[in-house]
Structure 1
Amino acid sequence: MALGGGTFLTQNKKLPGSYINFVSAARATASLSDRGYAAIPIPLDWGVDGEVFTVTAEDFQKDSLKIFGYDYTHAKLKGLRDLFKNIQTGYFYKLMKDGVTASNTFATAKHKGVRGNDLKTVIEINVDDITEMDVLTYLGSNLVDSQTVLPNTDNLLDTDYVTWKSNVVLTATVLGGLSMTLGANGDDIEGAEHQDALDKLEPYSFNTLGCVSTVPTIADLYVQFTKRLRDQVGVKFQVAVYRSEADYEGVINLQNDVTDDTNVAALIYWVTGIAAGVAVNKSNTNKKYDGEYAVNVSYKQSELEAALKAGKFILHKVGEDVRVLEDINSFTTFTVDKNEDFSSNQTIRVLDQIGNDIAVLFNTKYLGNVPNDPAGRISFWNDVVKHHQELEQIRAIEDFKADDVVVTKGETKKSVVVSDGVTPTNAMAQLYMTVKVS
């Protein structure tokens, strides 16, 4: 069933669902969902074609060769190692335009891309039974499959690396085996490939989306995708992009480039990971960079101050370490409804946690199931209060009172209106101290 969601101006929605606004207060079994989920479309030499595939941190460590075509320590996976330092699950989409699958006489590579050219088939007569053949598959120097069968490819089982061609007689290969050829990554990746990736990722739930492109129009595509899902669909996540012109609380605008990679925006992997993986009651301010890239941190004090004022996420040098200056997003146009608190990623994480959790609670437990009468609304109120009390217990919000949540009947018999007041807690970031000397 299609559900509505997003923000609202008046109570005029047609689809059932959860519509949640966040605004600043004027100045004078509900449970917390997990974090650590990231989504990131990336160019790959190997991997599932045309679909989103899910990889856990454990999968990445144990099965990176099968999933990404390279062993865990390979230089090609440096960005992914940076990403997985702080996440538990990644949703990936292989960016590729007109890629070609490698093949040889006996088999075709499982996935498109140049890594398929490193596959080879070795066929030998079995030493114990000369009527059978030993068929070995190598990816580079790694033996990834071994089967002993009667001499026809129809007797072979497809693997995570190859699909066997139909009804081919198996004959002993020359020393070193028969390599696969003609695998290719295709043409330069353009906006259409990124759009395909975003279309496929839309049904998934994640905390942070990453864009590794340095092309401004592609970065803007990710920004507009994020705005639409946050504001119209009600799906709360942030996007990490490289040097965007965005002015929006859902956008983390990375400024630093790297000096040791052809993609100067490669630090996006790490930033996406820390934004997705940080706990709802924690901040990334002053977080030490523990990744593998050489990060450009050549900024003067005045440039750092200007970067913060402009909503730029930036890393700087602190002694021998490289650290996050401040955990902020790109929002700078403050208003009465959305003040400077909304530029803090920690604040946005708390609000997003509330928005996502209460929407899931309502859509799964109450929508279509619980009568919209006083008892039903009291039950919903109890669940919202319990949720917020959990947030206060872990010090994500402070000074919460049950009376801050008010649940009333809406303008129609089906609608429920919630007035909710929360005060997100932020980590200490500034120290002002006066020392009196006598």
Structure 2
Amino acid sequence: MAGGNWSPTDMPVLPGLYMNFVAAAGAAIQPGSRGVVVAPVKAHWGPVGEFVEIADEKSIKEKFSLDETGGATAYTTLFLALLGGPKKLLAYRLADSSAAAAKVTLKNTAETPADALVLTAKYPGERGNDFNVTVQASLVDATKKELRLYESTTLLRTFSIGDGTAAAAVAAINEDGDNKWIVAEKVADGTMADISGAALGGGKSGISSITNADYIAATEAFEGQEFHVLTLDGVTDPALRASITAWVKRVRSEGKGIIATLGGPTTDDKASDAVAKANARSAACNDEGIVNVGSGAVLGDKEYSSAQIAAWAAGLIAGQSISESTTYAVAPFDDVTRRWTRSEQEQAVRSGVFLLIHDGRQVKVLRGLNTLVALKEGQNSAWKKIRTIRVMDQINADLQRAAEDNYIGKVNNTAEGRLALIGACKDYMRTMAQSNVIEGAGYDVILDPAYYGSAPSRKPEPDQVFLQWNARLTDVMEQIFGTFYVQ
């Protein structure tokens, strides 16, 4: 869909709804609940270059495996993101050109045994090397054969292959809707020879040569997917962080309202100058669409870097309702890897660092901030809050969808048509007010006086409509001040 920002001196060409959010004196706009997290991961199993929905820890195991040796990141990244509570989590597996699926070739019972059946793991990766197969007479009916698939010594599936021919085996394996592990290909006719523990081999995960370019290439696929928060899988390379930041800035300017959560390595999190390092990361990003996690955390007997905790932050941001804030949100961790002092925490807030703290009882988010420090033209301090950006993104997405579905190319640009559009927009604002996202009084949608009225500065083209939105954001309590008089 076309959309994004617009400028009177450089009008867009594509049809679409273009929205500028500009701070009125003393006014702002508020946050909304988004929902979908996307996370690129590295794994020893699972589809490559596809979006895979992850609902729970069990589905991580089934779709990617829990093995994190050799640079795999799927389990930690997806587990932490789930802990944050997103409404939907999409994993996207990366792999380099060396990735290969494990396979084994089985022979028939001809006088001169020949290769008859090739079994190949469904996905590239080293997990397939743990598979092995046994072909033998059925334990129930000795006149029939069965093929049993094991992962090491664990039975995954038993396929009934009838008369034991290669063709019967192909049908039984490939037409089994519950088969998640192998595919079969007939090479020659004939009955399958009995065999025990024939191991699949040659599977490669394609992890070792993954580069920043693979992550950048993945963002091309992300642009065509509907999601709201992006997190990386614990990578901390500054060049990649800069590339992701530049990409987020571009797609946000084009109307795709996403937020990315990033972080740093454990060495930075626990360094004596950890504060300076975290602050420097935020300063390098300086954008409302980037959240920089500044602290690592401990869960059980395992420490996680701030780059890994960024996955939890992504789930938290995506999963909150439209009226919630991440400020003081309770985290599931036992401790942080470094406890920042009061003055350091103040520096974090001023520098746009998303910090986890331990308050003596529990771990929680200090303040729900993005990395925006130096305000751009038309922005005010509300733009520094994650909640505000989420709301603006939600409003923009809702109005974009409504405009494309019901107005653009469908309604005549007459006074009556414009009134209908304004009426629908006001109804939407009313629902936002009922949700306590904007204040219930004082919001309005009108034709922009700069383009309509007795003395417009510019006359719209016949296919253009210019609206002016006025609303005042609500906000959550983040600072409470009081004076106690003692008598």
TM-score by length of 2: 0.81
How far apart, CA to CA, are the structure 2 residues paired with 1:34 and 1:300? 32
Match of 1:49 in 2: 48
Correspondent of 1:111 among 123, 144, 165: 123
- The 5 A counterparts of 1:206-225 are 206-212=227-233, 213-225=235-247
Q: Is the 8 A contact 1:50 1:93 kept in 2?
A: yes
Give the superposition deviation at 1:143.
3.2
Give the superposition deviation at 1:4.
2.5
Q: Is the 8 A contact 2:316 2:326 kept in 1?
A: yes
Matched, 1:432 2:459: no
How far apart, CA to CA, are the structure 2 residues paired with 1:288 and 1:297? 17
Matched, 1:290 2:332: yes
Correspondent of 1:154 among 155, 158, 167: 167
Give the superposition deviation at 1:33.
8.9
Give the secondary structure class of the aligned counterpart of 2:86: coil
Matched, 1:397 2:441: no
Q: Is the 8 A contact 1:331 1:343 kept in 2?
A: yes
Tell me: CA distance 1:88–1:173, structure 2 relative to 1, closer, same or farther (3 Å). Answer: farther
Match of 1:66 in 2: 62
Structure 1 letter corresponding to 2:214: E
Deviations 1:181-213 (A, max 9, x none): 222222232112102211111111112111232
In structure 2, stretches of 5+ residues that fail to align are 68-72, 106-117, 265-280, 453-458
Match of 1:368 in 2: 409
Match of 1:190 in 2: 211
Tell me: CA distance 1:107–1:290, structure 2 relative to 1, closer, same or farther (3 Å). Answer: same
Give the superposition deviation at 1:18.
1.4
How far apart, CA to CA, are the structure 2 residues paired with 1:375 and 1:12? 25
Match of 1:303 in 2: 344
Match of 1:101 in 2: 101
Give the superposition deviation at 1:24.
0.9
How many residue pairs get aligned? The number is 423
Identity, in percent, stands at 25
Deviations 1:307-327 (A, max 9, x none): 111111110111131110000
Give the superposition deviation at 1:264.
5.8
Matched, 1:91 2:90: yes
TM-score by length of 1: 0.89
Tell me: CA distance 1:142–1:432, structure 2 relative to 1, closer, same or farther (3 Å). Answer: farther
In structure 1, stretches of 5+ residues that fail to align are none
Tell me: CA distance 1:434–1:34, structure 2 relative to 1, closer, same or farther (3 Å). Answer: closer
Match of 2:271 in 1: none
- The 5 A counterparts of 1:5-404 are 5-10=3-8, 12-27=11-26, 35-51=34-50, 53-57=51-55, 60=56, 63-70=59-66, 77-85=75-83, 86-98=85-97, 99-105=99-105, 106-140=118-152, 142-149=154-161, 150-155=163-168, 156=170, 157-158=173-174, 159-167=179-187, 170-174=192-196, 177-186=197-206, 187-212=208-233, 213-231=235-253, 233-243=254-264, 244=281, 245-258=284-297, 260=302, 265-290=307-332, 295-335=336-376, 337-404=378-445
Compare 368-377 and 393-402 and name the one that shifted more. 393-402
Give the superposition deviation at 1:261.
5.5
Correspondent of 2:471 among 415, 422, 429: 422
Give the secondary structure class of the aligned counterpart of 1:107: strand
Q: Is the 8 A contact 1:152 1:167 kept in 2?
A: no
Q: Is the 8 A contact 1:39 1:208 kept in 2?
A: yes
Give the secondary structure class of the aligned counterpart of 1:92: strand
Give the secondary structure class of the aligned counterpart of 2:221: helix
How far apart, CA to CA, are the structure 2 residues paired with 1:294 and 1:141? 38
Structure 1 letter corresponding to 2:411: V
Q: Is the 8 A contact 1:258 1:266 kept in 2?
A: no
- Structure (1 or 2) with the larger CA radius of gyration: 2
Give the superposition deviation at 1:61.
5.2
Match of 2:278 in 1: none
Give the superposition deviation at 1:40.
1.1
Tell me: CA distance 1:435–1:140, structure 2 relative to 1, closer, same or farther (3 Å). Answer: farther
How far apart, CA to CA, are the structure 2 residues paired with 1:319 and 1:33? 31
Tell me: CA distance 1:142–1:201, structure 2 relative to 1, closer, same or farther (3 Å). Answer: farther
Structure 1 letter corresponding to 2:134: V
Deviations 1:33-89 (A, max 9, x none): 9632111111122111122x23152xx356444322349xxx962432221231121
Tell me: CA distance 1:258–1:204, structure 2 relative to 1, closer, same or farther (3 Å). Answer: same
Compare 307-316 and 255-264 and name the one that shifted more. 255-264
Tell me: CA distance 1:251–1:405, structure 2 relative to 1, closer, same or farther (3 Å). Answer: farther
Give the secondary structure class of the aligned counterpart of 1:104: strand
Match of 2:274 in 1: none
Structure 2 letter corresponding to 1:189: I
Give the superposition deviation at 1:400.
4.1
Tell me: CA distance 1:42–1:294, structure 2 relative to 1, closer, same or farther (3 Å). Answer: farther
Tell me: CA distance 1:236–1:170, structure 2 relative to 1, closer, same or farther (3 Å). Answer: same
Q: Is the 8 A contact 2:439 2:473 kept in 1?
A: yes
Give the secondary structure class of the aligned counterpart of 1:266: helix
Deviations 1:334-370 (A, max 9, x none): 2561111100111111111111111111111111011
Give the superposition deviation at 1:222.
1.5
Compare 407-416 and 344-353 and name the one that shifted more. 407-416
How far apart, CA to CA, are the structure 1 residues paired with 2:147 and 2:303? 39
Q: Is the 8 A contact 1:108 1:163 kept in 2?
A: yes
Structure 2 letter corresponding to 1:388: M
How far apart, CA to CA, are the structure 2 residues paired with 1:15 and 1:323? 44
Tell me: CA distance 1:249–1:33, structure 2 relative to 1, closer, same or farther (3 Å). Answer: closer
Tell me: CA distance 1:143–1:404, structure 2 relative to 1, closer, same or farther (3 Å). Answer: same
TM-align CA RMSD: 2.5
Deviations 1:71-129 (A, max 9, x none): 9xxx9624322212311212221021121211222411111112222222232211343
Tell me: CA distance 1:263–1:311, structure 2 relative to 1, closer, same or farther (3 Å). Answer: closer
How far apart, CA to CA, are the structure 1 residues paired with 2:404 and 2:297? 43
Structure 1 segments, 4+ long, off by >4 Å, are: 261-264, 407-410
